[in-house]
Chain A
Amino acid sequence: MRVTKARIFCCLVIFPFLSVFAQTIAVNSFELPNGLKVILSPSNDMQAAAVCVYHMRGVRNDPPESRGINYLYQYLMFDGNENLEPYDHVLFINKMGGTVSGRVNYDNSFFYELLPAQEINVALWLESERLKSLRLQDRNIDYHKNQIYGRINRLWESNQNFKAQTWVNAKVFEGSAYEYPLYGDLNKIRFLNNDRIRENYQNFQNLANILLIIAGKFDINELKAGINKFFQDIPPGRRQQNPVFGVQNQGKAYQVKNWLIPGLKKNFVVYGIKSPAKISYNFIYFDFLRYYLTDPRFARLDYFLNTVNKLNVEIESSFTDYMEANCLTIEISSPKRINLEKAKYVMEKEFQALSTNLISNSDVKSIRSLMEIDFLKSMAQLEERCLRIGEFYHMFSELNFFDAQLKRLRKITSYDILESAKKYFLKENQVVLNVYAEEK
């Protein structure tokens, strides 16, 4: 009795202090008997919650002869199951003001519901339903195969930029897990074997490869009861070794190619810059460089090309954000080819300058702040927080990264950036595709 009293006392005293001093994002976990790992990140200062199913499998796990299989699940996951009709899942959550989304990527797949906190059990039920009995009938599989083919094919036929970026990505990631597009081979996607798709789903929904991540407001006892109710009868998955990621070797050779397209209205050049993997120590420094050059709030590249040199070129950029290798794509376009040639020269000089000169301290401070604010904002968004927790656990088998990440961000110096620029802005790290209008 005395022991119980003491325990109650300790809980009463310590709990408020824990929550007060927990300035970091709290993350903890437990495992169900069937092997499903559940990760919780409570935030009691809101009335919302996010339920996320993070699959530690993605397109890179496609069997080589059936590329595109896992990508199909991105659509099939919303296509009903034994108890629900297609898109019922979306309608259920939409009706209560919530949102649903999901994405299959190369390294992972991620499906989530953002909804009012008291409705958390509805999301748990919906997620368990699709893990248990996803509808994989010939009719709906064929429908999605045709839909994907139609959509990508239209893009391929009408959009030269899409074609160019696909080519650049293939060259940057040659020989790695990211060499092929997410949808695999466009000409083969309609002919993927449906039995193979059903068979592969056993691997995709293998509980040993899944993390159930819940963030936001919840009552821990009710939540545990809900998780047990909906997930405990899913058969255990085959225990597999945790994936070990390694930095993939991206070949070092400067590649340049010219495409001449009749009737092209705007000339453009696509740069693919081989960049460090997300698991690599250098990732954060290269990310800094990405902010410096291409983030619209800083946009130094835009400043050099358009403000200083008045070249009037349009700049678009994207970053792949993969775990084992990455690509920073910069596309510059202009109706005047001469401006593009000048822009290429300026960019080359700018890359050289970054590899030889230190960035000013004021710029370093400013970008560090910007990166920190973005990181904090992403942790405040529940679905984004779940994704980051899942990715971190997937890469490093660790749950608490918030403090460490902030610490690293705050320690970035101009010397770190110089070293990173020296390593990654080399010419042999670049793939360049010039796409020009064919002159008559």
Chain B
Amino acid sequence: MPKRNSSNRCLFWILGGILLLLGAGRELFAETRLFSFTTSKGLTVKVLQDNNMPFIHAQLHIFLEGNAQNYTSWAISQLTVMNMFVRELNSPPSNLLGMLQRQGNDYQVEQNPEYIKISMNFLPDRLAAFPKLLKEIFYYQSFHLKKFNQSRENFWSLYSKNKDWRKEMAFLLAYQQIVGNFYFKGLLFQEFVNKINLAQLRSFLLKTFRPDNAILIIKGKINPYFILGMIEKDLPQPSPQPAKAKKEEITINASRKVFVLNVNSPELPAIYWFDTAPAVTEANYLPYFIGNFTLFGFPGGRIYKSEKNQFLMAGYKVNTEAYFLKNFTIFCNYLRLNYNDLENFLLLVDQERRKFAVQPIERKEYLDALNFYIGRAQIDTNRFDFGLQGEIDRFHAKSSGSLPARIGTELFQEVSINRVVQVMDEQMGNRHKSGGKEKGVVVLIGNAALILNNLKILKPDTIELLTD
């Protein structure tokens, strides 16, 4: 009898052990794991396997030559994307839009001077069709003269539909001013759009929409080897890459200009304050990030603490957005405020930036900024696209030869206050000054006449008047 008991117990524990092992294995399996590949056609594929995610999120980044852009190239890339992806231009129906619709139609295309980002969500049962969709994007052949003409005629209404075009325009202006030797003067895009022909779109597509000029990041409950096999099978060999002109190194203009974009709208005017910062993969990026919070962060930022302006600033909340580009980052701090507060705000920010030279970041400010960003990084783990930007940054870091960055809460803890003080001094304080000029752009959007009436101290020669 005791023998039977002990064998039962033994069986019981063995069974338990097996179940525990299985369970633990599945638990490990439930974590997000990264698989990186480069297909034989040159497409970089990163699979973030997350078995808890009930749908699949994919982002395809196609790279553009940012600093080589001008009016014409901007119009060509915009028209290409419009002809391919705008749902309103689906007559006659295109194969690509049909495939996107079958995929669930939940897609979005964003464009900046350095890349086109196509992001989409679909259900796991559509995964098998996804590589064919990629093929259709890379080897698109459905340009149609009627649709092309329609896209030129209705360019502005199609471009501005369902998006914050004001912010996009402000960013475009800032980017061109920061990296180029020109800027979009007068925003008269339509006349450039009218000069574009279909052949230019085809040529742009052949040159740019290539697997070896793109990165695909896909997240969800995915078997990485299955998706890699499917992509290998479906993507044909790209045509030989045309000889590329030697790329000019991006140089950043050391000046700050104020632009006014005239928009007749009853809404309050908006200020977009752009600053250039180190690339996300550089060691100086995070110290700058923390420094920016010390200035603009709500509620602890210096512009809120400034006694003189405390009453004035009450109720205004500055939002911060970072554009992660290949060689540098652009920080955009923006808010809406009353016309009569515009100049006070601009002067206040300028004054507080100068103060970094004489009043370095204090320990409390540093800790507040760290706390905020560590918390924000933790909250971001709730987002379904969490982890994707980090992979793009790593991709850039590898291609530019730097060490890959670790984006996570642990990195914030490694940034010392001395490093932050030093970087802020370089970026905003004494060290960065070059002939009294600063790196960055300010764009004001609203009723230009009212804005100009309210700018009394700022010199008029720093203002460019643009119209929508």
Contacts and interface: CB of A to CB of B under 8 A. Distances in A.
A362 B101 contact: yes
B128 interface: no
B27 to A, nearest CB: 5
A12 to B, nearest CB: 6
Nearest to A91: B299
Contacts of A114: 379, 382
A308 B121 CA distance: 28
Given A97-B375, A372-B123, A377 B384 contact: yes
Interface string A111-123: 0001111010000
Given A96-B371, A114-B382, A116-B379, A298 B19 contact: no
A349 interface: no
Interface string B74-105: 00000000000001111100000000011111
Interface of A: 9, 12-13, 15-17, 19-20, 23, 43, 45-48, 91, 94-99, 114-117, 119, 158-159, 216, 296-299, 302-303, 306-308, 362, 365-366, 369-370, 372-374, 376-377, 379-382
A43 B54 CA distance: 13
B26 A216 contact: no
25 contacts: A12-B20, A15-B23, A16-B27, A17-B26, A19-B27, A19-B30, A20-B23, A43-B52, A48-B380, A48-B381, A95-B368, A95-B372, A98-B379, A99-B379, A115-B375, A119-B375, A159-B266, A299-B87, A303-B90, A308-B91, A365-B102, A370-B105, A372-B55, A373-B123, A374-B106
B91 to A, nearest CB: 6
Nearest to B15: A13
B86 to A, nearest CB: 10
B87 A366 contact: no
B105 A298 contact: yes
A117 B378 contact: yes
Contacts of A99: 379
Interface in B353-393: 368, 371-382, 384, 386
A296 B88 CA distance: 10
A377 B122 CA distance: 11
Given A114-B379, A296-B162, A377-B55, A20 B106 contact: no
B378 A97 contact: yes
Contacts of B122: 369, 373
A23 B121 CA distance: 19
B165 to A, nearest CB: 15
A298 B298 CA distance: 38
Contacts of B380: 48
Contacts of B126: 369
A369 B103 CA distance: 8
Contacts of A98: 375, 379
Contacts of B26: 16-17, 20
B298 A94 contact: yes
B97 to A, nearest CB: 11
- Which of the listed residues B32, B50, B101, B373 has the most CB atoms from chain A within 10 Å of its own CB? B101
Contacts of B373: 97
Interface string B7-45: 000000000100110111011001110000000000000
A46 B381 contact: yes
A47 B55 CA distance: 20
B101 A16 contact: no
Contact of A13 (B19, B375, B381, B384): B19
Given A48-B382, A97-B375, A299-B88, 7 more contacts: A12-B20, A95-B371, A97-B372, A297-B106, A365-B102, A369-B122, A372-B104
A5 B102 CA distance: 53
B20 A13 contact: yes
Contact of A376 (B27, B54, B91, B381): B54
A84 to B, nearest CB: 14
Contacts of B372: 94-97
